[in-house]
Structure 1
Amino acid sequence: MGRSARLRTALASTLAAGLLLAGCGGESGDGEVTGSVVDPPFEVAATPLTDTEGKPFSLADDTDARLTLVFFGYTQCPDICPMVMQTLTSGLTKLSDEEREQVDVVFVTTDPATDTRAVLRDYLDRFDPSYVGVRGDLDTTATVAESVGVFVADGEELASGGYDLGSHGTYVIAVDGNDRAPMFWRQDTSADEFRSDISSLLGDA
């Protein structure tokens, strides 16, 4: 079985487990969590992409916060991407100042032909200027995405050559300080659920 097939199998198992956790209240430390726990966590690829300042950015080597939340999407997405980003942003505003300082957000575009550095920066500034935007060619992006259980090529191909992942499930991935991804959230996660789960993860870190 190839690497991609193994990752697909692992993600399918995690999704099934996540449904059970959501139904009975999965636990992280002393609190219940809504997100799907990945056990063992995904190992995040160190393959570098490029940030909006033109500098190399690796989801493993350049994520120094205790918790980094990673979203794969594209700026021209008409519904799911902005919905998830807005809900996540609302959830982060509910954290204490101390907690918020320990969390970074990274948006990885799946439509690099359209999402130039300037386009990405303008888009993310509408949510929070501290958010990091990164891009790369689709093969590199797919390699990074697969390391955290996201399969870019499974999305609907866009006219630009990128991918819309929305119709196949769009996730926010949690990356911890050890370059592992122990949890992910589905697109229907509420702001309060993000806040609660992020607080639990920070408490466990």
Structure 2
Amino acid sequence: MNAAIAGAVLVLFVAACGSASGSTAVAGQKASATVPLAGRPLTPTVAQPTTHLTDTNGSPFDVRSATAGKLTFVFFGYTQCPDVCPTTLADIAAALNQQTPAVRAGTTVVFVTTDPDHDSPQTIRRWLNQFDVSFVGLTGSWTDIAGYATALGLPTIRPEQAPDGSWTVEHVSRVTAFSPDGTARVGYLASATVANYSHDIPLLLENRV
């Protein structure tokens, strides 16, 4: 990564993330499991689309088929992000460390770079390993990355270089949680805590919400 890359992040709060007040039970939960989730309901819900991205091994990676049957957290960001990206992934990693081995095995975390011109697969892998070696890192053409984000209801702005040579990279702070059935009914903003994730992970897996 060029040392001149700026650490600016535009944190966008999309309307689909719902109200910012309190936890709300997610529609579709089983009647026998009425414990509210800490995540924000997504309206409308989001179906996991087919993707054409590349993992950190350089292999084609379709998120939909590769994570079928698992709870999957999808987050867009970049490795030089100074705040939201590292804190979000650190929080999810800490929450996973509080789960049973079975729950951890049933959960996948996918990070998609919003700065593909500077985040090489090797750079992404080294960065993700600071949080959890099991986290999946993806890159690809800007068209494919932006297309995936748009399918999830997330706005995108292509990184721009300023006259002084620095770069501005913008991304949405929302983590999208896909239940094992491939549908996202809940998301998490930058304000989500380790406790929020830790509380919701087993519920999302158990109830298929």
Fold shared by both chains (TM-score > 0.5): yes
For residue 151 of structure 1, what is the amino acid of its counterpart? P
Q: Is 1:91 matched up with 2:89?
A: no
CA distance in 2, matches of 1:162, 1:54: 26
Q: Is 1:26 matched up with 2:53?
A: no
Question: Could you tell me which residue of structure 1 aligns to residue 74 of structure 2?
Answer: 70
Most deviating of 144-153 and 172-181: 172-181
1:184-203 to 2 correspondences below 5 Å: 184-203=187-206
Q: Which runs of 4+ in 1 moved over 6 A?
A: none
Deviations 1:80-132 (A, max 9, x none): 11111111111111112221111011110000111101101111111111111
CA distance in 2, matches of 1:203, 1:138: 35
Structure with larger RCO (C-alpha < 8 A, sep 6+): 2
Q: Is 1:135 matched up with 2:139?
A: yes
8 Å CA contact 2:56, 2:138 repeated in 1: yes
CA distance in 1, matches of 2:64, 2:204: 18
Deviations 1:177-198 (A, max 9, x none): 3322221100111101101111
Aligned with residue 163 of structure 1, among 151, 161, 169: 169
Question: Could you tell me which residue of structure 1 aligns to residue 179 of structure 2?
Answer: 176
Identity %: 32
Q: TM-score, normalised by structure 2?
A: 0.81
User: Which ranges of structure 2 fall in alignment gaps of 5 or more residues?
Assistant: 1-13, 27-32
Change in 2 beyond 3 A, CA 1:182/1:162: farther
Structure 1 counterpart SS, 2:102: helix
Q: CA RMSD in A?
A: 2.0
8 Å CA contact 1:44, 1:144 repeated in 2: no
8 Å CA contact 2:115, 2:159 repeated in 1: no
Q: How many correspondences in the alignment?
A: 186
CA distance in 2, matches of 1:175, 1:27: 16
For residue 34 of structure 1, what is the amino acid of its counterpart? A
Shift of 1:156: 6.6
Richer in helix (by share)? 1
Q: TM-score, normalised by structure 1?
A: 0.83
User: Which ranges of structure 1 fall in alignment gaps of 5 or more residues?
Assistant: 1-10
